[in-house]
Structures are given as structure tokens and as C-alpha cells.
Chains A and B, each alone.
Chain A
Amino acid sequence: MNASALEANAAADAFASTRWTLVLAAGDGEAATHQSLDALSELCRIYWRPLYLFLRRQGHAPADAQDLTQGFFADLIESRSYSRATQEKGRFRSFLLGALKHFVADEHDRAHALKRGGGKLFQPLDEEALQEVETQFPSVSRGSADALYEREWAAALLRQAMERVAQESAIKGKSALFQALRSYLPSGEEAIPYEQIARQLNRGIVTLRSDVGRLRSRFRAILREEVRGTLSDPAEVADELRYLCQVLAQA
């Protein structure tokens, strides 16, 4: 398989742009399909950080927060509580936080999930990533727990989009180019030291300008796909992006 085909496949898989729709569709039926469970698992894998930090900000100790996050995902996947939560279905972001609050408040659910051996259905949280999050916790812990959750949600989204652009670049053998340009994605044209990078990568400036343009274009497309994956109505992508811009502006 050549690089283009690999990229196309990766894009097709990763562009599970209706992940949340798939989950919701499964919730309406009698049995959850593998596809919908995979979609939910994938969403949880991407967005566990905001939930974990929300719990930490609420005062739960690291071990408790880890257990609760783990137990919550297990309960979510096993009990298919998403099929009952109709009001907040529109946005996975809102649904997830509402469900977590409910889970934490309901001791029975919590005990039941832990009794079932929470986490069996959900891949355990990555220890290294947890440690990384714990290191960051003191510097990110400000404002309300809800505000922290939304801020981290936006960051997780951007991180995911950036990781996917990095993966695509690696598939195309352009890791060095990506590494050289990634920090300039949000910069104005004037701020990009084209000559310096051109020398460093032995690449023409005109080509480099096109590279930057392509990289941005790809990042935009992927970010939109990621956002779309968390919404039941794809038409709301622009609104969600605008909302997240506001969240960061208020941080």
C-alpha cells in the first residue's frame, strides 16, 4: 500500500466524523453494535483528561479520580446510559459532563460499576499520561471545575487534531517538515522565518509557503472532523468552534 492509500485509509478511519451519532444511533436500538461501542471508546479515550481534571478540581484525590473516571466509562459503556439521556445528546461534551456529575452523585451506580470491575470494558487509563496530567494539575487548576473541564476539552480537541496531522505527516515521510512548521500553524505569515527554515530543511521558500498552506488546510479539516465527531448535528460545527473560542478567551 502506498503512502497516499495509507493516508486515505487513515483519514477514513479517523474521520469517524459521526462518532457521537453512531453512539446515539446504537442507543435507540436494542443492542449496541461493535461499531458504536468502538466509537464511544474512542471518544472516551480522547476526552478522558477533561473528566479526570474535573474530578480533581472537585477535590477528589488522584487515585479516587482515576477510579471514578475508569468506573464512569465502564458504566457508560455497559449500562448504555447515553440511550436515556435525551436532553444533552446534542453535544458529547455536555452529555459527558452531565453524565459524570450524575454518576458521582449516585452512589449506587458508582458502587455497582466498581463491583462489576469497572474498567474491564474500557482500556485502563495510561499511567504515563496520568502522571503527565498530575504534573500539570497545579498550573491548570483555576476557576470552577466546569470551566476547567471546558478548557481542557478544547485543548484535548486541539491536541487530537494536531496528533492526527502529525500521524499523516509521518505516513508521508514528512515528520521533519511537520516538526519544523507545527509551531507556526497559528502564526501570521510575517512571523514565519521562511528563510531560516528553508535553509534548515534545504527546501525552496516558495515550496515552503505552499507546505505551510497545506498544513494549515489539513489541520482545519481535521479539527472540523474532530468537532463534528462530538456532535449529533454536523451543522453545528461552526457554533461549537465559536463556543470553544469563547471558552479559551475567558480563561
Chain B
Amino acid sequence: MSFSSAAGGVCTTCGSSIVTTASGDLGCLSCLLRTGSEEESVETMNSATPASFGAYVIARHEDGSLHELGRGAMGITFLAEDASLQRRVALKIIKGDFAQGGSDARERFMREARAAAALRHPNVAIVYQFGLDDESGQYFCAMELVEGETLEERVRRTGPLDLTTVLTVARQVTAALAAAENRGLVHRDLKPGNIMITTEKGNKNVAVKVIDFGVAKALHEAPDARTLTHGGFVGTPAFSSPEQMQGTAVDVRSDIYSLGATLACLLTGRMPPLDRTTGLAALSQQLKSAGVPFTVSKLLSSMLAEEPAARPGVETLAKELESISSQPSAGQRFVPYFAIAAAVVSVVVGWFLIQVATHVFPFFGISNWAVRLVVLLLILGFPIALILLWASKSRPKGIKRETDGASVVADSKSLVVLPFANQSGDPAQEHFSDGLTEELINRLGRIRPLLVIGRNSSFALKGGTQDSRAIGQILGVANLLEGSVRKFNDRVRITVGLVRAADGTQLWTENYDRELKDVFAVQEEIATAVGERLRVTLLGPAGSAQPVRAVVDTEVAKAHHLYFCGRHHWGKRTEAGLQAAIKDFNAAIDIDPGNARSWAGLADCYTILGCWGYESPHKSYPKARAAAERALELDDTLSEAHVSLAVGKKDYYWDWAGAEQEYRRALELNPSNVMARMWYAEYLGCLGRRSEAIAEAERAQLLDPLALVVAVTLGRHGYSFARQYDRAVQELRETVRTDPDFWMAHLYLGFTYMYQERFGEALAEFALAQQLEQNGDMLAGTGYALGRSGRKAEARQVLAEIMKLRRGRYLQAVVVALVHIGLGEKDEAFFWLEEAFTERAQWLTEIKVDPAFDSLRADRRFEELLQRMGLA
């Protein structure tokens, strides 16, 4: 038998892969188990239900069957008529034999029911009456009959809803929640099936009403709650908050979680994943695939935070929604420059016409009434024309994206370079097309005021199927540069096209047929052409960009490829990756010693080796500095090289002013340099310039929204160091969900838990990080957390392991110091911090702000240490 839900190994209901097992063809096991896990419904109630409850008479179909409106775990809702008032109502018959319960329990139920009935709000269906039918002993709830359909029905009928509608729903439901919060009410079962949507005839405006308000809470208080709801749980698992699932106390933040899950469902057309651990990553991917703007995804993630405290409150949520809704697309805000300009022009033209009419009409003997008519028409027409112009605001020109109130970039000039397609028919040529993509990202990033999305986000879209609009919304860009590379023998054909993201319009396209050795010239040509198309000016004085080498031999092209391989390995941030990258950069330099970027890449490798303690700082940083300086000798306009120098100045030489100068110069040369922004944020975080650090890291994230290394920097050096732990946990958890194999995310999440004294969770994260990468930092965190949580014997075992490792290789002394801090051994901690000072361990640069060192701050030795480092 074939299952309707299975299509090509993927379940069409939940979107997950069909799990194959040895238990035969059961279809999608996840869906089947989910169905089995749902609350027992009242499927058989229909036949046994009497036709009237109190004053309410259930309507019947022509065939005599009861007119059912819907059904759920709590009961069945029928269309009914209030016989006394002669009005139609929705009558919910609640399952359960409450008459068996004690009077106290019944009173509790009725109290909750009455509280819900008192709630009056335009976005909440009115509850007319909660009652008990004496004959059957069944409770019923008579509610306002809302014409329309539930959001669940709407999504089933039309598929995912558009963003505007979803935001409208979100705003109205949030308003309902605010009203409920004022009365101390919690819905407890907010989901698409409990929100009615209506669309006015001839009007696109939608209105929503939350139904069943108070029913879930009343049921929770019901005398027979455990039987009725299996263990007292009331709600729908897929939309229920973690605290609700755990059966702990809930407040409005639980409803906010459910609203987040509901909105995600409306945008993706899929049920939210039941598994909280991996579910958010899947959801994030679904939202991305659905083209949901980054700002909206981020808001949804915050609503779905596991910790209630990390979710926005009703008021904040309302403001956020208002802010997003006022932006036509993904944080874009229209400034009607066009309309203002048109108004000025209209006034001038109008004045001119009046002058003409006044002076010329008498000359031709045209009577004064004609002059008056012209003046009158101009006066009347002006406001009408202005309104029309204002309403037309559809041109991309003049659109600005604003963050934190400050204009960051001219969005219409924002661009993402999509990975060029390799059409050579030879997978081995993939590196050539990837290399070209990287080169373009780098070159276009230098053009001001172009905003070029970083490489991580660009390459994350490789092989994707999203359309231009979706990509534009995900990354918040106005233009896409796409292309293909076809290589044959020693010639290459590159096709490049510029596409407007909003509507997929091809703005410009060009073919380049070149000999392979002309690759750099082609890249320069493309960069220039795109730049001109976007009407931007090249940055800096003529010739400041890396010189175009019009003719280079194939060996240089090989060096070019090696450079990109090096960057790929470097990006992994593992010891093995760094060693591989060093090999690649050295090989590239051997072939083409004049390539400044290869030298900068080499410098960055040594920097990271020293930073993570894979090599002694005394060995690695001088090498990094020499390589960075060599790069600058070759090309002092190379932004990357200034960053390489800056990091060393900060990490090892403790030249704080010099480092900042280099970062600023790097950003001046290439405002789109993501690494420059990210490491500058780290620098600012270490110095305790908290708000600047967060702002800079957020800018980096804006440039490269999908870059994990940027996300973890924002989490640790931004939020964690600013002691905004909930935000840090949220950011880092999201990163872990996106890529569970990214060890830095586990490490930083572990540290944040450690700061919150959630030692068990911290240890789990350190263990995960340790599985992925062997690093002294994980041992430090583990030892510290064990010591602080009273597991001192185990902490000492970790310490012994660290000391053993230190005998065989370099392991920064701060690692040892931290375990002693965890054990409460201050003198030993200071001894090892002194060792770290001698080593110039990178971690020392963070001690001014790192909460792990808080217990030492009051000691004068700590202050002295900061002074000697120039950090006091």
C-alpha cells in the first residue's frame, strides 16, 4: 500500500524524510506517532450528543446530521442557535464527565470560565456562556459565531500565507494577548486552528479573532483534568511552549511561544517540528526556503526561545511587529524622496503656468475666466497629484535600509554575488567558478557605497533553488549578480547578469570570452561594469585598487586557486584546517610571491593558531605580523592585510590604539569586509565598549547573515561580554541548531551557561565541542564548571590532564588558571595568569570583561595585571 503522505521519500505533511524501518510500510512514522500522541479527541461524541444544551439548539444538516463546525482534543464545536435571543452561536461541547468531580473542582472550572467570558476585545471571539448540561453532565461553551475560516483551514486551502497577511495576523493576535494579559488570562492553546480569519468583501483587509479563549485554562482547572488531558497537559504539542509541555507555570510568554509557532506555520505551510532540539534548525531552513525576511525570522526565533525570559513581552512584540510592518520588505523603509521632489517640481511648473496664463491669455484676447480656471485647476490638481505620487512609491531609488536609527547603506545598491555555475561539465573545474565568485565579492566590496554580502552567505545559497525575490528577502539585498563559467581547453566563457531581486528583472547581462590566462582582467572588467551599472563610483584614488594584471600565465591562475583553497580551509577554524590552509597559502606564494592576498591569508592562519593556543604566541604572532606586513608592502590598499595586522596588534602586542587604527583603515578601504567588522567587534568587546561591540557585530551579521563565525562573535564578544546572557544563549543556540558540528558555537554556548551558573548544561556543551575539536578552551571550561559545581575531584582530574598535555605541547596558561579559579584557588590562579602574561596568551586580552574572572577582580593583583597590559 502506498501512503498518501509519502512523496519521493519526503512526507508531504510534515516535510521530513520518511524514516525507513524494518517494521514494514507504515508511511511517515513521525506523523503516525504524532497522530497517536495527540490528545484523545471526542470523535464519537457526535452520535451521543443531545441536540440541545441549555438554551442552545444544535443546527442540523438536511440529512439530519448535526452541523459540526470543527473538532479538537477538547471537544466538538457545532453551529447552534440561542433559542431565547434567536442568534446563531458556535457551541463547543467539552468532553469530560465533570459532574463526577467535587464541588470545589467544578467551582474552579467555572471561575476560570467566567474570567474568560469577561474578556472583550475586537480580536477575541466573545464567550457568551459556559454552562453545564444537567442531563448529560457535559460542559458547553457558547461563543460568538465568527464567519470565515480558521487559519488552519486557510493554509490548507491556499498554502503558505503572504508576509503582509501574516504580519497583520500577528499584530491583531498580539493585541488580543495584550488585552488578555491585562486580565491575567492565558490562552494555553493558541494555534492556527483557534484563530479565525475573515476578509471583508471588496476589501483586502483581513481581520482575525482568537477563539476558545479561556477554554484550555478552564480545562486545566477541571476536576477530571488528568483523565481528560493525559497527565493534566492541555494544549497542542506542536504549538505548546516548553514550560507548558513540562507542566510548569505558564504566563503570557507561553502564548507568545505558541504565536511564534503559529506564524511560522502560516509562513511555511507546515506544522512546527515537535523536536525542540533539532526542530528550530529545520524551521529556520524552512523559513529561509519560504523567503521569509531575516528580520522576521529573527523575531520568530526570539518568540520560540526555550527560556520564557528570552522571549519578547507583549509590548515589545507589538512594537517589533509595528516596526517590521512599517517596512515594505525585510527592514526596508521607504523615504519618499521622489514624491517630495515631484512636489517641488509641481509647484515650480504650476507657478510658471500661472505666469503664462496671466501674461499671454490677455494678449490673445482670452477672457479672465480662463486664467482663473487654470489657477483653480492647478490648485485642485496639486494635492491630488501629490497623493498619487506618494502612493506610487514603488521605485527602488530612494529606498534606505535603516538599523538602529542610523542609515547604514543605500539598499538599492546592495548586492549579493551568487556562486557562479560551473557549466564546464567537469566537476574538477568547480574551484575555478568558486574562485571567480570569491574574487568578485572581494573586488565589488571595495566599491563605495556598494553593500556586498559576505562569502559565507553567498556560498550558503550554492545549489539552492530560491527565486530572486526569496534571496532578496533572506539577505536583505536589492540586486543579485549571477553567472556561469564554461571552460574549454585554454579558453573560458563567463556569462554575468545583474538581476533586480524584487521582481527578477534582468538589468544587465554580458558575456566574456577570454583566454584562461586573462582571468584577472575579466574579473576587473566585470567589477567595473557592474559598478557603472549601479551608478557608483570606485573607491579611492585611481590605481588604488590592486593593479590589473591583464596578462598572466596559467601558473598564476593556479596560485589564485590555491589562495581560495587556503581560505576555505582557514574558515573551518580547526587545527587541521589551519595547517592545510598554511600549506595552500605557501604554495600560492611560491608560485606568485607578488600576491598580497596570499600573504594576508598566511598571516591570518598564524593568528588563529596563536589565538586558540595551537601554537605558542611567541612563535605564531611574529610570523603573522611578518606576513601581514609583507602583504601591505605589496598592496597597502588591501583591506584584508590591515585586518591581519590589526588582530596581531591586539592579540599579542597589546597595541590597542594601533589595532584600532588598522581596523578603521581596513573598513575605510572595504566597508563590506565582514571579517574586519567581526574582529573589530571582538576588539571592542574585549575593551568593554559593549554597545559598540554589539553594533559592529550586528553590522557584520547584516553583511553576512548566514556566517556562523559572525553569529558566535555576536553571541560571545557582543552579548555575553555585555552580560546579556539570554540574548547570547539565544544567538548561540540558534547557531548550534544551524550547524551542530560547529565547535565554536558549542564552546561559546558552554561559556555562557557557565556564566549563568548552569553548570550541567555548560558541561554538556563543552563535551560536544570537545568531540568536534581538541582544544584547551574546552578543558578550561570543563574544569572550571566542575570546580564551581562542587565536583572538585573531577576538576582536579581535568587539571591533571591539562598539565599532562602541557608537557607535550603548548597549551595556554590561562587554561590552567581558569580551572584554579573554578576550584577557588586564587593564588594558584594568579601564578598561572602571570605565566600567561609571559606567554602573551591571547585569552588574557579578554579578562577585563570575561565574567569567568569576576572572582579575581577585587584582588589588587588583578588590577595590576590589567594595568601592565594597558587595559586598566
Q: Which residues of A contact B (CB under 8 A)?
A: 49, 53, 132-133, 136-137, 139-140, 151-152, 154-156, 158-159, 161-162, 179, 182-191, 204, 206, 210, 213-214, 216-217, 219-221, 223-224, 235, 237-238, 241-242, 244-246, 248-251
Contact = CB atoms under 8 A, between A and B. Distances in A.
A98 B34 CA distance: 27
Interface stretch (B40-48, B462-470, B617-625, B774-782): B40-48
Interface string B57-84: 0000101010000010000000000000
A139 B24 CA distance: 12
Given A140-B20, A186-B34, A187-B13, A217 B237 contact: no
A216 B41 CA distance: 9
B332 interface: no
A213 B30 contact: no
Nearest to B153: A190
26 contacts: A132-B22, A132-B24, A152-B23, A155-B21, A156-B23, A158-B23, A159-B23, A183-B27, A186-B13, A186-B27, A187-B13, A190-B157, A191-B5, A206-B65, A210-B46, A213-B71, A214-B43, A217-B41, A217-B44, A219-B35, A220-B37, A237-B231, A238-B233, A241-B36, A242-B237, A250-B275
Contacts of B37: 220, 223, 238, 241-242, 245
Interface string B2-36: 11110000001100110111111011111111111
B21 A140 contact: yes
Contacts of A139: 20
Given A155-B26, A220-B41, 19 more contacts: A152-B21, A158-B23, A186-B32, A187-B5, A188-B156, A210-B44, A210-B47, A214-B44, A216-B43, A223-B37, A241-B33, A241-B37, A242-B37, A242-B245, A245-B30, A245-B275, A246-B275, A249-B30, A249-B274
Contacts of B71: 213
B383 interface: no
Contact of B35 (A152, A216, A221, A251): A216
Nearest to B29: A248
B100 interface: no
A220 B37 CA distance: 7
B278 interface: yes
A151 B24 CA distance: 13
A246 B279 CA distance: 9
Contacts of B47: 210
Given A190-B156, A214-B43, A249-B279, A152 B33 contact: no
B230 interface: yes
B222 to A, nearest CB: 17
B33 A244 contact: yes
Given A140-B20, A184-B4, A238 B44 contact: no
A43 to B, nearest CB: 16
Contacts of A220: 35-38, 40-41
Contacts of B96: none
Nearest to B39: A220
Contacts of B35: 185-186, 216, 219-220
B273 interface: yes
User: Which A-B residue pairs are the 8 nearest by beta carbons?
Assistant: A213-B43, A249-B275, A186-B31, A155-B21, A223-B36, A155-B23, A136-B22, A159-B23
A146 to B, nearest CB: 15
Contact of A237 (B3, B19, B27, B230): B230
Most buried by B among A139, A185, A219: A185
Contact of A49 (B13, B23, B230, B277): B23
B1 interface: yes
B275 A191 contact: no
B2 A183 contact: yes
Contact of B32 (A140, A158, A206): A158
Contacts of A217: 40-41, 43-44
Contact of B231 (A206, A213, A214, A235): A235
Contacts of B13: 186-188, 191
The binding surface of chain A is classed by DSSP as: helix
The binding surface of chain B is classed by DSSP as: loop
B726 to A, nearest CB: 24
Contacts of A185: 32, 35
Contacts of A219: 35-36
Nearest to A210: B46
A189 B157 CA distance: 11
Contact of A206 (B16, B31, B63, B245): B63
A139 B277 CA distance: 25
A132 B46 CA distance: 42
Nearest to B36: A223
A221 B26 contact: no
A245 B5 contact: no
A147 B44 CA distance: 38
Nearest to B3: A183
Contacts of A158: 23, 26, 29, 32-33, 36
Contacts of A191: 4-5, 12-13
A183 B4 contact: yes
A199 to B, nearest CB: 17
Contacts of A251: 17, 19
B1 A155 contact: no
Nearest to B40: A220
B161 to A, nearest CB: 15
Contacts of A151: 19, 21
Most buried by B among A159, A186, A246: A186
Nearest to B230: A238
B4 A210 contact: no
B278 A250 contact: yes
A195 B279 CA distance: 35
Given A187-B5, A210-B43, A49 B231 contact: no
A158 B65 CA distance: 33
B27 A49 contact: no
A53 B5 contact: no
Given A186-B13, A190-B156, A217-B44, A136 B21 contact: yes
A183 B11 CA distance: 12
Contact of A246 (B12, B41, B274): B274
Nearest to A219: B36
A154 B33 contact: yes
Nearest to B31: A186
Contacts of A162: 26, 32
A214 to B, nearest CB: 5
Nearest to A239: B231
B277 A246 contact: yes
B19 A248 contact: yes
Contacts of A206: 61, 63, 65
Contacts of B28: 186
Nearest to B25: A183
A105 B137 CA distance: 59
A222 to B, nearest CB: 8
B78 to A, nearest CB: 14
Given A158-B32, A185-B32, A238 B20 contact: no
Nearest to B27: A183
Contacts of B237: 242, 245
Contact of A152 (B22, B27, B274, B279): B22
Given A214-B43, A249-B30, A136 B36 contact: no
A132 B63 CA distance: 48
Contacts of A242: 37, 237, 245, 274
Nearest to B45: A213
Contacts of B65: 206
Nearest to B28: A186
Contacts of A248: 19, 29-30, 33
Interface string B196-238: 0000000000000000000000000000000000110100010
Contacts of A241: 33, 36-37
Contacts of B22: 49, 53, 132-133, 136-137, 140, 152, 155
